[in-house]
Amino acid sequence: MDAAGLKRIPLFAALSKKQLKAAAHLADEVDVEEGEQLVEEGRFAHEFFAIEDGKCDVIHDGKVIAQLGPGDFFGEIALLRTERRIASVVATTPMKLVVIFGPNLRALASEMPDVKKKIDAAIEERCASM
């Protein structure tokens, strides 16, 4: 993953060049096909996802509760709060994703307070709406 790619994602856009470079070393970039299940409700969490391109549905208790697209992210709640996925996520188009594994996300959040604030705000908002 390169720092320029991360900078296009709002979660990481305000990071310094040094922080972007450090974050890029913790991230991988993956392509997925339409219809691929990215996370499954109730399963243990291992990774965090930020969307570079494409769209997906967030499904909780069998109902679509959100649609996400470029710039959005998901997977943070299970990694940082609950351990298990609280929703499923399915790609509705081909997607390009930034993937950060749990220990790396926790390290990033502890080293970069601006990223942690944005993630914490998203957790609070998402948990309040469920």
Task: Give the CATH number of the domain where residue 43 resides.
Answer: 2.60.120.10
**Is residue 107 exposed (0-12), middle (13-18) or buried (19+ Cβ within 10 Å)?**
middle
Is residue 52 assigned to a domain?
yes
What whole-number distance in Å separates Cα of residue 43 and Cα of residue 83?
Answer: 8
What whole-number distance in Å separates Cα of residue 9 and Cα of residue 73?
Answer: 9
What whole-number distance in Å separates Cα of residue 54 and Cα of residue 65?
Answer: 17
What is the residue range of 100's domain? 28-128
This prediction has a pTM of 0.85
Q: What is the pLDDT of residue 129?
A: 62
Q: Considering its fold, how many domains does the chain have in total?
A: 1
The answer to whether 34 touches 51, Cβ cutoff 8 Å, is: no
Is residue 56 assigned to a domain?
yes
Is residue 7 assigned to a domain?
no
Is residue 88 assigned to a domain?
yes
Is residue 60 assigned to a domain?
yes
Q: What is the pLDDT of residue 81?
A: 72
Mean pLDDT of 103-127: 78
pLDDT at 126 over 90: no
Is residue 8 assigned to a domain?
no
Q: Model confidence over 56-103: pLDDT tens digits?
A: 999 999 999 999 999 998 887 776 677 788 899 999 999 999 998 888
Is residue 100 assigned to a domain?
yes
Give me the sheet containing 47-53, strands edge to edge. 27-32, 95-101, 47-53, 73-74
Is residue 78 assigned to a domain?
yes
Distance of CA 58 to the CA centre of its chain: 12
